[in-house]
Amino acid sequence: MDLRNRLAEALGKIPSELLDATTQEMVAEARTSLEAAAAVDDVPTAVAFVGRSGSGKSTIVNALTGLEVSPVGPIRPTTTMAIMVGASGPVSLSSESEYVHVEGARQGFVLIDTPSWDHDPGAVMAAMAAASVVVLVVTPARYADLAVSELRDQVPNGVTTFVVLNRMTAEEDGRDELLASVRGIHGDVLVVEAGRDHSMLWDAIDEAAPRDRSAAQRRRVLDRAAAATARVVAERVTRQATEVGRVESAVAGFGRVVPPPVAVLENWDDTRSNVVSALRGVVAAVDGALVDAGGELGRRIFEGLTPITTAEVGSDVDAWGSSVEDRVAAAVRTWWRPKAARTVARRFAPRIGIDPNVPLPTRLVRALGDRLASVREEAHASFLALVSSTADRRVGMWEESVSSLGAYTPGELLEAADAVG
Ligand SMILES: Nc1nc2c(ncn2[C@@H]2O[C@H](COP(=O)(O)OP(=O)(O)OP(=O)(O)O)[C@@H](O)[C@H]2O)c(=O)[nH]1
Ligand SMILES: [Mg+2]
């Protein structure tokens, strides 16, 4: 993977709870530097292939990229608009063009196959205007044409040009004389033979490509800035580890929650909503105590926790309510008919659980008889269990979060930073 991506990824893996506002800004800063450094890469060196129709421009561009990206054909002209090929994006052209992205093509270059000079000189000029290197493709048959010298004259000043003699065959008659003649007109010429590998053409392009020193320098400065910032981030995050330890012991030593007072009303729906808000109060009490113990880090951990919803608490309360109801109904069944027992149980069971001292109607007291004390006790114990399981669940969430934070180390981040700069 690209080193910059690796560093960006390592920055992304820092748990957000460990990032205070300043460190968070530093992470953003490091990312911006990395993106800027990568963007410096993004302007590829354009290489325009120009020449007369049939000289083999498309054939060469295809051979250099290893793919049939630009159609080659016996019918002249074959190429009717500029076709850009590369792995590093297109350049902007003032004529109609198409860009073909070839993953695995040489980074930092875009090859521009142009229509023939005879067919569309405007498109050729546009490509040459955008190019840093111009490759003039000629053939043994047509290297001395007027059109070729005209085209040569149009190459903008300061653009590196070299001439490729294409369509040579090994057994070409008077090969040496031919070459001498082409060199007489064009100077040094690169000879490309059909079916041969074109790595020497790549080497020539590579060498001819202007080295943008300022771009390289800019990249280096930005990379170093990102790496330096990432190291400071790692240091600050490491310092947070001590804080994590403090929250961890607060979580481990979390005591019992005092059951909250709940007003018991005639109507179960109202009572139920009192219980629900009391239990939400229990969750808030856990959060409050641990945020206090954890300070700023505690607050961030709290913000990262999944909230416990009213619906979740409500369904716990309902489950508890029906279990107490079952218990009371069973206890009074011998006294009343089952249906009546159920009605009474539904009305009084939760009250018995919530408040062990709640006054009960005489007929219920009589119906429960000597079971009264044990029913009251069990129901209240199960209410206390509901309170503490709600608290435990919340403490468990804190525990989980704190232990995953405690497990984070910035080793990967430091390695990625060192690799970048
Ligand atoms: N024998 C031989 N044929 C070649 C060589 N290079 C290209 N050709 C053939 O020459 C013909 C023209 O090649 P192209 O690559 O389409 O030429 P072009 O310069 O792109 O032509 P336009 O798109 O019309 O400007 C095709 O039939 C190719 O197969 C070569 O080195 N040797
Ligand atoms: Mg072509």
Q: What is the pLDDT of residues 172-192, one digit of tens each?
A: 788 889 999 999 999 888 888
**335 C-alpha to center of ligand 2: Å?**
102
Ligand number nearest CA of 75 is 1
Enumerate residues lining ligand 1, CB below 6 A: 51, 53-59, 72-74, 76-79, 115-116, 166-167, 194
Q: Integer distance in angstroms from the first to the last C-alpha of the chain?
A: 16
Model confidence, pTM: 0.59
Residue labelled with tokens 């004389």: 177
Residue 181 CB: number of other CB atoms within 10 A?
14
**121 C-alpha to center of ligand 1: Å?**
19
Same-domain check for residues 163 and 301: no
Same-domain check for residues 56 and 26: no
pLDDT digits (tens, 9 = 90+) for 265-291: 888 888 999 999 999 999 999 999 999
Query: Do the domain assignments include residue 383?
Result: yes
Q: Which domain holds residue 348?
A: 243-416
What's the domain count of the chain? 3
Same-domain check for residues 82 and 181: yes
pLDDT over 70 at 113, yes or no: yes
| Dist. CA 177–CA 224, nearest whole Å | 55
Average pLDDT, integer, range 83-94: 93
Confidence bin at 135 (pLDDT 50/70/90): very high
Same-domain check for residues 192 and 121: yes
Same-domain check for residues 9 and 121: no
Which residue CA neighbors atom 9 of ligand 1 most closely? 56
Average pLDDT, integer, range 328-356: 85
**79 C-alpha to center of ligand 1: Å?**
11
Q: Is 153 exposed, middle or buried (0-12, 13-18, 19+ CB in 10 A)?
A: exposed
> Across all residues in the chain, what is the average pLDDT?
91
Same-domain check for residues 293 and 382: yes
**293 C-alpha to center of ligand 2: Å?**
73
Same-domain check for residues 331 and 256: yes
Same-domain check for residues 248 and 189: no
Query: Do the domain assignments include residue 237?
Result: no
Same-domain check for residues 64 and 202: yes
Average pLDDT, integer, range 50-75: 92
**64 C-alpha to center of ligand 1: Å?**
14
pLDDT over 70 at 41, yes or no: no
Q: Which residue has the higher pLDDT, 295 or 198?
A: 295
Of 139, 132, 131, 101, whose CA–CA distance to 114 is shortest?
Answer: 131
Same-domain check for residues 23 and 46: no
Confidence bin at 195 (pLDDT 50/70/90): low
CATH number at residue 100: 3.40.50.300
Do residues 44 and 108 touch, judged by C-beta distance below 8 A?
yes
Which residue CA neighbors atom 14 of ligand 1 most closely? 56
**115 C-alpha to center of ligand 1: Å?**
12
Which residue CA neighbors atom 3 of ligand 1 most closely? 167
Confidence bin at 38 (pLDDT 50/70/90): confident
Ligand number nearest CA of 76 is 1
SS3 assignment, position 138:
strand
Which residue CA neighbors atom 13 of ligand 1 most closely? 56
Ligand number nearest CA of 83 is 2
Of 342, 346, 347, whose CA–CA distance to 266 is shortest?
Answer: 347
